[in-house]
Amino acid sequence: MRNTWILAKRELSGYFATPVAYVFLFFYLALMGFLTFYVTGYYERGVADLQPFFALHPWLYLFLIPAISMRLWAEERKSGTIELLMTLPISLGEAVMGKFLAAWLFSGIALLLTFPMWMTVNFLGAPDNGVILASYIGSFLLAGGYLALGSFLSAITKNQVIAFVLTFVVGLLLVLSGTPLVLEFARQFAPDVIVDSLRSFSFLTHMNAIGSGVIEVRSVAFFASLIAACLAACVVTLDLKKAS
Amino acid sequence: MIEIQNLTKEFGPLRVVDSITFTVKKGEVLGFLGPNGAGKSTTMKMLTGFLAPTAGKARICGHDIESEPMQAKRKLGYLPEGAPAYTDMTPAAYLDFIADIRGLSGATKAARIAAVVKQVHLDQVLHQPIETLSKGFKRRVGLAQAIIHDPEVLVLDEPTDGLDPNQKFEVRQLIRSMAKDKAIVLSTHILEEVEAVCTRAIIIAKGKVLFDGTPEALSARGPLDEVFRKITTGDRVAAS
């Protein structure tokens, strides 16, 4: 646990040691703000809530999360620091956890910096702040699940571009599997069990559930098990092919 | 303190390290010589627990690197080939991080960092990002990282590669000064380095040990580079 925290601290300070973190945060916030206010018709709705804003998250994360996660292990491999890390007295599990936590905290910082949204909506009207809080937690969980997936996919290559594209594609599948388009299509030939499990694997389903203000055990369990499974896969992958 | 027993590594059909056996005692500096691709780095990667051997054992201070990796790694300082480091950090932050992972804290940590910074002369670049440093300084950061916890066993993969003659001299002096109470293995393809710092030399080629003896025994056979060429390209020479 101590090692995990030391590594997470180093990683997190690593983000801010280069312009990468600032460029990322700038585009994250600019994109979130622009899309919410100009594309979703936020003002025209005349409703004081942040629903259009949170509805964007699963889609925006498709680009933003792989941008964070692609370098996690691919860069360690490429620069050779993986050899250093793996010969220090730190277990593989601690290392995977530490790097993941740093990435998750970073995405949490980005999310927290969207607080002007929350201030705006409270200035304009009287939104249900409980729902907003639940949505923030949901978005954070979604980011965690997706980052864990990205961390695993980053471990199988030393090329950051490949890691980005893989994470994007798998993420896209996981978001799309909850859209009516895919579900209706599947319903034509697949039994209900398949359609239901397809839906239950989707990021969208769980985000919508949480976005309505209810944090369901089901959704929390989904993201928690996604994180656990992906990090375990990451450990196994690294153990099998550390050097290649 | 270092025991290697029939260590073997195969990558697919290729046998890179072929049943190597040797031990290194406290106070010994073992020079690991061989042409490029001889298996020097692979042997070191197995000894330090980065690569799992196909067969054989490696022990550090009695701890098997595979079954007790944590205990073994704690006793070990390692400079990997090319001295990789987190280059966006400054040497100060980097050494602080390594010291944390090595379990140092408080006054001990500060004292150890100050000591290694002095030993490898890093004081003037302590607060510059590592990526902006010259090759020589990068190598010294790697060395500082390896000795920060004053390990009993030190494994250095080409510690003087890329250094200028003065820096090479200093690093060799540093290694000699630490040799008394450590077991040190270093790889090199600079032959005079063996005479300068090592108490023992092993020559390997194609994964096999071809010579194991003192540098004096090696140089007694004639000019070093000729002997080296004869051993690594010719037949097996009886170890002295």
- Per-residue pLDDT, B230: 82
- Per-residue pLDDT, A26: 92
Closest Cα of chain B to A240: distance in Å?
Answer: 9
- Per-residue pLDDT, A204: 81
Q: Which residue ranges in chain B fall short of pLDDT 50?
A: 236-240
Is B223 or A80 the better-scoring residue by pLDDT? A80
Give the whole-angstrom CA distance, residue B9 versus residue B53. Answer: 5
Q: Which residues contact A65 (CB under 8 A, 6 or more apart)?
A: A107, A143, A146, A147, A150, A167, A171
Give the whole-angstrom CA distance, residue B120 versus residue B110. Answer: 16
The per-residue pLDDT for range A105-146, each reduced to its tens digit, is 999 999 999 999 899 889 888 888 888 898 899 999 999 999
Q: How much of chain A exceeds pLDDT 90, in percent?
A: 47
Give the number of beta-carbon pairs within 8 Å between A and B.
Answer: 62
Which chain B residues in 183-212 lie under 8 Å from chain A, judged by CB atoms?
none
- Per-residue pLDDT, B235: 53
- Whether A89 sits inside 8 A of B70 (CB atoms) is yes
- Whether A87 sits inside 8 A of B51 (CB atoms) is no
What's the rounded mean pLDDT across residues A3-14? Answer: 93
Closest Cα of chain A to B80: distance in Å?
Answer: 7
Q: Which two three-digit tokens encode residue B31?
A: 């020079």
- Per-residue pLDDT, A243: 64
Query: Distance of CA A128 to CAs A48, A133, A135, Å?
Result: 8, 9, 11
Q: Tell me which of A88, A94, A242 to substitute to probe the interface with B (most B C-beta atoms closer than 10 Å).
A: A88
Is the distance from CB of B108 to CB of B158 less than 8 angstroms?
no
- Whether A17 sits inside 8 A of B84 (CB atoms) is no
How confident is residue A174, by pLDDT bands cut at 50, 70 and 90?
Answer: confident
The per-residue pLDDT for range B170-227, each reduced to its tens digit, is 889 989 989 988 999 999 888 888 888 999 999 998 888 888 988 888 888 878 778 8
Is the distance from CB of A130 to CB of A213 less than 8 angstroms?
yes
Q: Is the pLDDT of residue A212 over 80?
A: no
Helix pair A92-112, A129-155: axis angle to 10 deg: 140
pTM: 0.89
- Per-residue pLDDT, A88: 95
